[in-house]
Amino acid sequence: MFNNKWMRGAVPALFLHSCIGSVYCWSLLKGDIAAEMGVNVSSIEFAFSLAIFFLGMSAALGGRFVEKAVRLSSLLSCICFASGLLLSVVAIRAHSVAGLMFSYGCLMGIGLGLGYLSPVKTLMLWFSRHKGLATGIAISGFGLSKVLFSPFIEWCNDVHGVQTTLITMACISIFFMLTAALLIRKPEGWVEKQDPFSMKEALRIIFNPTYIKIWIIFYLNITCGLAIISFEKNLALLVGISSVGLLSSATAVFNTVGRFGYSSVSDFMRRKEHIYIIIFASSAIVSICSSFSATPHIVIAVIMLCVINAGYGGGFSTLPTLLYSKFGMDKISTIHGFALSAWAWAGLSGNQLTNLIINFCGGTFQHVFMVLSVLYLISLGIAINLRNQKSAQAVFE
């Protein structure tokens, strides 16, 4: 009864990603955290960047470990993620910015990376005929998390305070992530190859032209997405939206739909990079429209947030199948992990991009949209240029 693709693959994947995806509720937490610590929001903003950086780097370095021990990696993800949330409370009470950087940034970030990567290959093995659907199931949980947690965080912050919010989030995560670690399992009969993964082989992946193009467009998509997502609350207030939690849940729905929808559609596409062309073209259009005035019309702003969130999520969910189409299945966790290093660097640049333009250069969101328009157009050009290369999979042969 329990040894099937849903209980061993889909359910634990959703549990894991629905918990760790709460990292994208940072814009709802940072103001209250800063207030309780008695510091400016700008002084703790880097905690979110650190979390995304350690997410990407732990995934990049942990690919082989995840492939060999998916249940152990899921358990370690739970320990690091929940500990990061709980120690964040300690840091807040101690008014320690450095402590918050370590707990919410470094420790929780490691839990994010291991938890993000753990269920992906397992699901692709269980859903061998519909790999796009599989990755959509797993990674849609990351977007779904924001839908579930946003209203709760807004309510709990107002009624009980941000410390209680973080403690409750940690307790919820412990329950569901431990359950996921107990349930997750690869299909019977699948045996991981034990051949050593050498640095020479790793460099052959990293410097493959196709891989470089994929890494760049993935990096640019995340940078642009984070530049908006991390300042979503500020933009909402600027255009006159008072119910920020409701907007956050709405954009999270589009993030989730993008993750599931784009990846599912990619199953029917011979060339997986076509999905990225659609994502970048639509994101460029809404960014250009939003850049016509210093304060975009409320309808345009909402459409822009929804489209970019959908494309942001879709870029994540279609990445594994795009890499599989180019490089094969055997070492997909390792290859995927390497690609997620782009997420690490985008975590530093994306969140800081808007902060740099507005807070340090004295610009407005109009200038942010102009920069995003250029970046999306560059990404679109690379995606169009990306071609199927039969020799790409030969990297592993």
Q: What pLDDT shows up at residue 219?
A: 95
Average pLDDT over residues 12-40: 92
pLDDT digits (tens, 9 = 90+) for 82-91: 999 999 999 9
Residue 133 predicted with pLDDT over 80: no
Is pTM, for the whole model, over 0.85? no
Instruction: Name the more confident of 229 and 285.
Output: 285
- What are φ and ψ of residue 389, in 5° steps? -125, 115
Contact of 252 with 306, CB cutoff 8 Å: no
Q: What pLDDT shows up at residue 323?
A: 86
Q: What pLDDT shows up at residue 35?
A: 95
Determine the Cα–Cα distance for residues 328 and 23; give it in Å rounded to an integer. 31
Residue 8 predicted with pLDDT over 90: no
- Fold for the domain defined by 5-184+197-387: Growth Hormone; Chain: A; (1.20.1250)
Q: What pLDDT shows up at residue 356?
A: 86
List, in order, residues 6 or more apart from 153 with CB less than 8 Å away: 25, 28, 29, 165, 169, 245
| Residue extents of the structural domains in the chain | 5-184+197-387
Which of the four pLDDT bands, split at 50, 70 and 90, describes residue 201?
low
**Among the listed residues 216, 200, 203, the one whose alpha carbon sits nearest the alpha carbon of residue 341:** 216
Instruction: Name the more confident of 396 and 176.
Output: 176
Q: What pLDDT shows up at residue 202?
A: 66
Determine the Cα–Cα distance for residues 127 and 71; give it in Å rounded to an integer. 19
Which of the four pLDDT bands, split at 50, 70 and 90, describes residue 396?
very low
Which of the four pLDDT bands, split at 50, 70 and 90, describes residue 394?
very low
Residue 271 predicted with pLDDT over 90: no
Name the packing angle between helices 11-20 and 162-183 (round to 10°). 160
Q: What pLDDT shows up at residue 306?
A: 92
pLDDT digits (tens, 9 = 90+) for 225-249: 989 887 887 888 888 887 777 787 7
Determine the Cα–Cα distance for residues 299 and 337; give it in Å rounded to an integer. 37
Determine the Cα–Cα distance for residues 38 and 94; give it in Å rounded to an integer. 11
pLDDT digits (tens, 9 = 90+) for 322-360: 888 888 766 677 788 888 889 888 877 887 888 889 878
Average pLDDT over residues 42-70: 86
For 182, the token pair is: 């107990």
Residue 303 predicted with pLDDT over 80: yes
Q: What pLDDT shows up at residue 194?
A: 63
Residue 34 predicted with pLDDT over 90: yes
Instruction: Name the more confident of 68 and 303.
Output: 303
Determine the Cα–Cα distance for residues 231 and 365; give it in Å rounded to an integer. 10
Q: What is the overall mean pLDDT for the chain?
A: 86
Task: State whether residue 276 is helix, strand or coil.
Answer: helix
Contact of 298 with 241, CB cutoff 8 Å: yes
Residue 392 predicted with pLDDT over 60: no
Residue 165 predicted with pLDDT over 90: yes
Residue 134 predicted with pLDDT over 60: yes
Q: What pLDDT shows up at residue 395?
A: 46
Average pLDDT over residues 167-181: 96
Q: What pLDDT shows up at residue 106?
A: 95
Q: What pLDDT shows up at residue 18?
A: 92
Determine the Cα–Cα distance for residues 273 and 120; give it in Å rounded to an integer. 19
Instruction: Name the more confident of 266 and 311.
Output: 311
- The greatest distance separating any two alpha carbons of the chain, rounded to the nearest whole angstrom, comes to 60
Contact of 63 with 336, CB cutoff 8 Å: yes
Burial (CB count within 10 angstroms: exposed 0-12, middle 13-18, buried 19+), residue 389: middle
Determine the Cα–Cα distance for residues 253 and 249; give it in Å rounded to an integer. 6
- H-run or E-run covering 147: helix 131-159
Instruction: Give, in order, the Cα–Cα distances in Å from 136 to each of 14, 130, 182, 234.
Output: 10, 10, 22, 29
